[in-house]
Structure 1
Amino acid sequence: MTHVAIIGGGPGGYEAALVARRLGADVTLVEKTGIGGSTVLTDCVPSKTLIATSDFLTEVAGAAELGVQVPREIKADMAAVNARVTSLAEAQSGDIAQRLQDVGARLLDGSARVSGPGRVEVELTAGGTETIDADAILVATGAHPRVSPDAMPDGERILTWEQLYGLTTLPEHLVVVGSGVTGAEFASAYNGLGVRVTLVSSRDRVLPGEDEDAANLIEDVFRRRGMEVLGRSRMQSVVRDGDTVTVTLTDGRTVEGSHCLLALGSIPNTEGLGLEEAGVRLDDGGFVKVDKVSRTHARGIYAAGDCTGVLMLASVAAEQGRIAMSHLLGDAVHPLDLRKMSSNIFTSPEIATVGLSQKAIQEQGMLVDVASYPLASNARAKMQGIHDGFVKLFARRGVGTVVGGVIVGPRASELVHVLSLAVSSSLTADQVAGAFTVYPSLSGSVAEAARHLHTTL
């Protein structure tokens, strides 16, 4: 029987453990901060729980348009919100741990490092050490927030995204430094909670790596909802003086707030794991180099998740872990193909994408037809008071195969699955358009956009 040692209990690690047990391997999983890792305990699950509260308040704010009179101001109780966030994250962690135990995986609470071929040394949290001799090792240690020596978090007023859940009152003025996915999501969430928000972006627009039409729409929504967005503004330092935080920009301007959130990116948790000594290659940023089946350069060592830097999404981490175990244990393997991947940004409205982006299509010189359909034209959207959003599809010219798409709107994360199926199965726009949709429904906009791509022969 194959014995697999897994270092890290986030999505890459626990999904790998489930697959390995299903395929008959013995599994020992080592995690030092709690099963589920940062994804469940301090990152994805907590942030989306917070965003759920914010989204509810955003919907209530538009109640008058639907003929509902809200008798008084509705505000979030931050202590109660964050207590729910923490409780839900812990419950999710417990559920995953129970599932792993139910399938027979062995869980160790401690810190692990690779000490030789097929050998893992574990420093147990309860005291003592244990050596694991394994046939293969999976490294899934994740990443942690990047900070700057000129902007050190104190956990009270200057915060990373992992420290926000200790707040018991709403910030009076939150300055968010960084306009990537994390910065944009939290800026949107706190704006929805009624907090004054200033978003500091070093680029010319928020979400610079995303679809340009989607990013421009989100920035427009941010501004209409009262958020101050400072484009082309790079942080130089952040200092605290009592209850005031001052963010100084490189051009000399300053922004004062009650709190500052640092959303400066992530650093892989690969230091001190003995990886390079074991023959694992790291890039200049410390990320583990892997191929499309999650193999490192060291025989018998795989890696998955944020520590690889392939794409920092829980869904990608989970897929990397599953692929690694399938490859190791001789099951059918479908190498990771980011051209068919779907993802979502949980701003309000959400941005869901799948397949090739418009930028990637242009860079590859691929000839495509593009169709865009505004949600404001959709009957269900009108009923629900939805004004912002669209569906955009890309189909190969002359063939009609859907190669990518973007959906901006409420619950875009739920709507995008049909496009994910279309891209992964190489369906044509006509096939997407020909599938029945409910009337009225937001999903009808996906079919309508696909109909716009129909061409007669």
Structure 2
Amino acid sequence: MAAEWITVSTPEQQPVNPRVVIVGGGPGGYEAALVGRRLGADVTVVEAAGLGGAAVLTDVVPSKTLIATAEWMTIADRAPELGIRLDGTALDGAALDLLRHRIDLAAVNTRVKALAAAQSADIRARLEREGVRIVLGRGRLDGPSRVLVSTPEGADDLALDADVVLVATGATPRALPEAQPDGERILTWTQLYDLPELPKKLIVVGSGVTGAEFAGAYTSLGAEVVLVSSRDRVLPGEDADAAQLLEDVFKARGMTVMSQSRASGAVRTADGVEVTLADGRVVEGSHVLFAVGSIPTSRGLGLEEAGVRLTASGHIEVDKVSRTTVRGVYAAGDVTGVLPLASVAATQGRLAMAHALGDAVAPLSLRGVSSNIFTLPEIATVGFSEAHMQEQGVKYSVSMLPLARNPRAKMLGVRDGFIKLFAHAGTGTVLGAVIVGPRASESIFPLALAVKYRITTDQIAETSTVYPSYSGTIAEVARMLHHRIED
């Protein structure tokens, strides 16, 4: 961001009870609202779909709930290996039959949507308890200090004057011109939860995080899955070792991975779909899911008319305290394109509101932000990637151990996964980490602390761990990076 954007916000710059209008009720919006109320502002949240936004209603919460069900299916597959037999007698007294677990997708989706609705209701109740005003409708800027709201009833626009405006409208799935979603056979990830039964053959277009998560989940649920990737491997932007391990697991579970195959369109057939590739090949299936990225929800919001600058991709330009190019107008979350994580959106929202209302803030730093891919196994990362350090010429050391050697993993029948640490070659400071395995999202936290607070591998190695536990391998990997002082 341009240096001239950086100014100092003080309490004297705001009214005693400043009016804050937040457009968008996702993580960036509702977290900002809570900070605003704590700092004494009059806060209004404008939301069209429901509190929690896409993250709660159609993205993070429902997808991870679906994946949690798929994980149980994967665990059940290991039951015989652990000595568990699921035997039962038929009602007519016939011979014993092995009870095979199967998925009832309609029931799964009912639970998925119920959990999402419950989470949304909890967020709304919390905001109302804190005194936040909630307006259902679509908000757009009418200049830098007013928001107009189109309500569902179609009445005249409601005008909300504001001393501070925060835009947190998120993003929506990208659709190919030759593959328009119909919600039945040609799908985006927001439309999966109305499927009445498991697809016979699901084609997933896109091998990034979203594509990999859904491809893996539906494979575990029992569907035949074809993953179409335009790149040479799954998860091209992630750690190479982690991506290769996951692709090997996918193939071992029966998934077909089509590398270097770019989809150009899709059409419905009598009982399914046909996906056309750029080289002319056609892939047939019962359903197709397009996971080819997202576009920021920034059109029709009056942003440019108010002077807010957008990038070529349509994202709102912000600085490290979430200010836009217009004084008093802030933005947070996926609409900014900073990093498409709910945790980052929430952090941006909190920073924006604290800065706008004169509280002390530290600029956004992505150094200690951890991320997780909810595949089976999960892939969690924090800090610098190995590819980034190689590109930048950083002198680093790396150590890695497979989880298969871990006693806890052996007890649970876990064979796939590893823990990898990157440390500065001279100081031993932890620069980054990758964990692949069950619940990697939970195990990455201590390494996120290590990266954020510049802890050394020796300090990790000297800290006791529970035996047996996955964390024991974290300490062991750290010990491998110890450099003995030579005379």
TM-score band, normalised by shorter chain:
over 0.9
- Shift of residue 327, structure 1, vs aligned partner: 1.2
- 2: distance between equivalents of 1:334 and 1:391? 31
Q: How does 1:212-251 map to 2 (within 5 A)?
A: 212-251=240-279
Instruction: Show the 5 A alignment for 1:116-131.
Output: 116-128=143-155, 129-131=157-159
Distance in 2 (alpha carbons) for counterparts of 1:79 and 1:243: 19
Paired residue for 2:168?
Answer: 140
2:25, 2:47 within 8 Å by CA — same for their partners in 1?
yes
Q: Does 1:112 align with 2:129?
A: no
TM score, norm. by length of structure 1: 0.99
Report the residue type matching 1:22 in the other structure. R
Give the structure 2 partner of residue 196 of structure 1: 224
Aligned counterpart in structure 2 of residue 27 of structure 1, from 43, 55, 58: 43
Contact 1:395 1:402 in 2 (8 A): yes
Shift of 1:370: 0.5
CA distance in 2, matches of 1:25, 1:259: 48
Pairs within 5 Å for 1:55-70: 55-70=71-86
- Report deviation, 1:339: 2.2
Do the aligned partners of 2:20 and 2:165 also contact (CA within 8 Å) in 1?
A: yes
CA contact (8 A) 2:144 2:165 kept: no
Task: Quote the RMSD (CA, aligned, Å).
Answer: 0.9
TM, length-normalised to structure 2: 0.93
1:375 Cα deviation after fit: 0.3
Pairing 1:371-390 to 2, within 5 Å after superposition: 371-390=399-418
SS in 1 for 2:321: coil
Equivalence for 1:303: 331
Q: Quick one: which of 376, 381, 391 aligns to 1:353?
A: 381
TM-superposition CA deviations, 1:103-157 (whole Å, max 9, x none): 1111000111100121111112234321111111000000100001111111101
Residue in structure 1 matched with residue 9 of structure 2 by the alignment: none
Q: CA deviation at 1:330?
A: 2.0
- More deviation, 290-299/121-130: 121-130
> Which position in structure 1 is the counterpart of 2:311?
283
Question: CA separation in 1, counterparts of 2:36 and 2:388?
Answer: 35
Counterpart in 2 of 1:363? 391
Match of 1:10 in 2: 26
CA contact (8 A) 1:245 1:258 kept: yes
Counterpart of 2:233 in structure 1 is 205
Q: Could you tell me how far 1:257 is from its partner in structure 2?
A: 0.5
In structure 2, distance between residues paired with 1:320 and 1:395: 28
Q: Is 2:472 the partner of 1:441?
A: no
Segments of 5+ residues of structure 1 without an aligned counterpart are none
Q: State how far apart, in whole Å, the 2-side matches of 1:227 and 1:449 are.
A: 32
Counterpart contact for 1:157–1:243, Cα < 8 Å? no
* Conserved 8 A contact 1:4-1:136: yes
Matched residue, 2:11: none
Letter in 1 for 2:134: L
Residue of structure 2 equivalent to 1:150: 178
Please state how far the C-alpha of 1:430 moved relative to its aligned partner: 1.0
Say if 2:282 is the partner of 1:266: no
After superposition, the C-alpha distances for 1:212-271 in whole angstroms (9 at most, x for unaligned) are 110010000000000000000000211111212111111121111000001011011100
* Distance in 1, Cα, partners of 2:180 & 2:403: 42
AA of the residue aligned to 2:183:
G
2:432 aligned to which of 404, 411, 433: 404
Q: Which residue of 2 aligns with 1:44?
A: 60
1:376/1:386 contact within 8 Å kept? yes
Shift of 1:445: 1.2
CA distance in 1, matches of 2:249, 2:47: 40
Any stretches of 5+ residues in structure 2 without a counterpart? 1-16, 87-97
Of 208-217 and 245-254, deviating more is 245-254
Q: Secondary structure at the match of 2:335?
A: helix
Find the aligned partners of 2:19 and 2:392 in 1 and give their Cα distance: 43
SS in 2 for 1:236: strand
Amino acid at match of 1:345: I
Return the letter of the residue paired with 1:36.
Answer: G
Deviation of 1:319 (Å): 0.7
Counterpart Cα distance in 2 of 1:34 and 1:63: 40
Contact 1:172 1:257 in 2 (8 A): yes
The 2-side partners of 1:337 and 1:144 are apart by 25
Residue of 417, 434, 442 corresponding to 1:414:
442
Secondary structure at the aligned position of 1:288 is classed as coil
Residue 333 of structure 1 deviates from its aligned partner by 1.2
Secondary structure of the residue aligned to 1:324 is helix
- Aligned residue type for 1:280: V
Distance 1:236 1:417 in 2: 40
* Residue identity in the other structure for 2:80: A
Alpha-carbon separation, structure 1, partners of 2:310 and 2:462: 47
> What is the percent sequence identity of the aligned residues?
63
Who is 1:321 aligned against? 349
* Structure 2: distance between partners of 1:423 and 1:365: 19
Asked if structure 2 preserves the Cα contact closer than 8 Å seen for 1:198 and 1:230, the reply is: yes
- SS at structure 2 position matched to 1:321: helix
Preserved contact between residue 375 and residue 390 of structure 1 (Cα < 8 Å): yes
